[in-house]
Amino acid sequence: MAKNPASPAAPDGGRIVSSQHLVSPKSPELSEFEYGMIVAWHAFARWMLRCMNATGIKDMAAIDVLVLHHVAHRDSDKRLADICFVLNVEDTHVVSYSLRKLAGLGLVQSKKQGKEAFFGVTERGREICLAYRDVRESCLMPGFTGSAEDNAQLGELARLLRTLSGRYDQAARAASTSVL
């Protein structure tokens, strides 16, 4: 039986993938990228929760941290639909639940404007976001050089991730209408 070129046991040193059976000969690197995303997402989610715990806020999910920071972004009130859109969350119930949880913790508040609810960060929420920033600066940022070259690489990676997210979104739409 021939070895798949994407197998970790391949003579070329192998690729690190989570699902060898999904590796496409068209782009084995995509499977490496997907594994990297899996590992990075879980590390990032773990980081967000531990960082938030260090501010004194416990029992939050990653989506709660993301929603809090986005609501605090630019100190402007936001509608549920806008929060979902920016965070690329399809299920509004997930974000709605998170907003209720954050409101219960006194970190966000809602205001009615006409028929719509707008969400803003409270003073306590702002304080927690700034405390999170302080923990981030002291624990995460020492691992970065801040050099122009490193920052350019991070910027390019961010652009690539946005491009790939569009491809995955398009593929998700196509898959939702496909029947095998």
Instruction: Give domain limits for the chain.
Output: 28-139, 145-173
Q: Which residues pair with 118 in a beta bridge?
A: 79, 111
Rounded Cα–Cα distance for residues 32 and 104 (Å): 41
Q: What pLDDT is attached to residue 155?
A: 98
pTM of model > 0.85: yes
Confirm if 68 and 133 have CB atoms less than 8 A apart. Answer: no
* Bridge partner residues of 117 (DSSP): 112
For CA atoms 89, 90, 92, 94, the dihedral sign is negative
pLDDT at 8 exceeding the cut of 90:
no
C-alpha 142/C-alpha 121 separation (Å) is 28
* pLDDT of amino acid 12: 39
* Structure confidence at residue 7 (pLDDT): 45
pLDDT at residue 5, as a whole number = 47
Other beta carbons within 10 Å of 41: 11
The CATH fold assigned to 28-139 is Arc Repressor Mutant, subunit A (1.10.10)
Can you read off the two tokens belonging to residue 11?
Answer: 């003579």
Q: Residue 12 gets which letter from DSSP?
A: T
Phi/psi at 9 (5° precision): -90, 5
Q: Is the pLDDT of residue 145 over 60?
A: yes
Q: Over the stretch 166-177, which tens digit does the pLDDT of each residue have?
A: 999 999 999 999
Percent of the chain having pLDDT more than 70? 93
Question: pLDDT exceeding 90 applies to what percent of the chain?
Answer: 87
Is 9 a residue whose pLDDT tops 70? Answer: no
CA proximity to 129, closest of 77, 57, 76: 57
